Amino acid sequence: MITYIEYLSLLIIPLFILFTVLYGTFKKVRVYDSFVTGAKEGPAIILNIFPYLLTIFVAIKGFQASGAFDYVRNAFYSVFAFLDIPIEALSMAVMKPLSGSASTALFTDIVTTTGTDSMATQMSAIIMGSAETTFYVLAVYLGSVSIRKTRYLVPVCLVADFIGIVIAIFVAKWFF
């Protein structure tokens, strides 16, 4: 089942591009020129996104390096001590919304130090798979259309992230 879906997901992009190009040619579109015209928009979009990405990355990296990240995680750990959550899983819970590459590195670290069958690994796997790097998504998507007034979007995302991680922890406890 999984290998089947994996193969399907490998097939989607090539098939989609093939279909687009053939359909375009059928509709008498000069696909090469069309592609070039579209690709020309790329740099302008990235120029819009870049400052947003830079601003948020500086804050996230600084937050990690200053020791504030560890403090927040330890605070969560002592508040939720009664739930008996492994501290590694809590690191993952705080890290995942902030940074994709850092959470992948953290997950690999948790697997190697606690073993593949530990509760910490299982729980981190669920958090890793079910949460998204919220700050990155916000920076990229809002930056791409230069949105300044985000109204109540950021609180919604933070509340949803928090609930999502609580759900992930409970699902992990229930399954393993």
Partner 1 sequence: MNILWLIMICVSIVFAIFTGNLEAFTKSIFDGAKAAVEISLYLLGIVSVWMGVTRILEDSGLIYRIAHLFKPIISRLFKNIPGDHPSITAITLNVLANLFGLGNAATPLGIKAMQELDGLNEDKGTITPEMMTFIVINTASIQLIPFSVIGILASYGHRNPAAVVVPILIATAISTMTALFVLAAFRKVFR
| Site for partner 1, residues 56 to 95, rule: CB under 8 A | 56-68, 71
Taking the CA atoms of the chain, what radius of gyration do you get in angstroms? 21
Determine phi and psi for 129, rounding to 5 degrees: -80, -25
Shortest separation between residue 88's beta carbon and partner 1, angstroms: 14
Of 61 and 87, nearer to partner 1 (C-beta) is: 61
Which pairs with CB-CB distance under 8 Å and at least 24 residues apart come from 152-161? Answer: 158/134, 161/97, 161/131, 161/134
User: Distance between CA atoms of 132 and 98, rounded to whole angstroms?
Assistant: 9
* 134 binds partner 1, rule: CB under 8 A: yes
Binding-site member from 14, 15, 41, 90 for partner 1 (CB under 8 A): 41
Given candidates 15, 46, 75, 83, which one binds partner 1 under the rule CB under 8 A?
A: 46
User: How many residues at the interface with partner 1, by CB under 8 A?
Assistant: 97
Q: How far is the CB of 3 from partner 1 (least distance, A)?
A: 10
Give exposure, 120-129, as e/b (b: 16+ Cβ within 10 Å): bbbbbbbbbe
Contact call for residue 5 and partner 1 (CB under 8 A): yes
